[in-house]
Amino acid sequence: MAGMARTSRDTAGLVKALRDQRTLLRNARRAFDEGSHPEAQNIAARLRVLLHDTRLSHSLLGQLRVKERLPYLDTNSAEMPAEVIQMGGGLCMISAMLGPEDTASSRYRAPLDVLAPDRIHPPQAFVDWWGDPVVDDDRGRPISRRQFVLWLANEEGGAHIDPTIDDTYAELSTAGVSRFAPAEGDDPLFRDLVAPTVRQIAYEVETTLDNHLIEETEPSVQVSVRDPICPCGSGEKRGRCFDLRQPRRRVSMSELMAELPPPS
Tell me how far apart the alpha carbons of residues 66 and 31 are, in angstroms, rounded to a whole number: 28
For the chain, 264 residues long, give each residue's pLDDT as a single digit of tens. 566 888 888 878 888 899 999 999 999 999 999 999 999 999 999 999 999 999 888 999 999 888 888 889 999 987 655 554 445 568 998 887 665 555 556 788 999 999 988 899 888 889 999 999 999 988 889 999 999 999 999 988 878 788 888 999 988 988 888 777 777 765 667 789 999 999 999 999 999 999 888 765 433 434 444 556 765 666 777 666 655 555 555 566 666 666 666 655
Tell me how far apart the alpha carbons of residues 162 and 238 are, in angstroms, rounded to a whole number: 43
Cβ proximity of 60 and 49 under 8 Å:
yes
Tell me how far apart the alpha carbons of residues 154 and 259 are, in angstroms, rounded to a whole number: 32
Tell me how far apart the alpha carbons of residues 234 and 167 are, in angstroms, rounded to a whole number: 35
Question: Number of helices (H) and strands (E), helices first, in the chain?
Answer: 9, 7
CA dihedral 154, 77, 50, 194 (to 10 degrees): 20
25 forms beta bridges with: none
Cβ proximity of 196 and 108 under 8 Å:
yes
Q: Supply the pLDDT for residue 263.
A: 54
DSSP letter assigned to residue 116? -
Q: Supply the pLDDT for residue 20.
A: 95
Contacts of 110 (CB under 8 A, 6+ apart): 91, 92, 93, 196, 197, 199, 200, 203
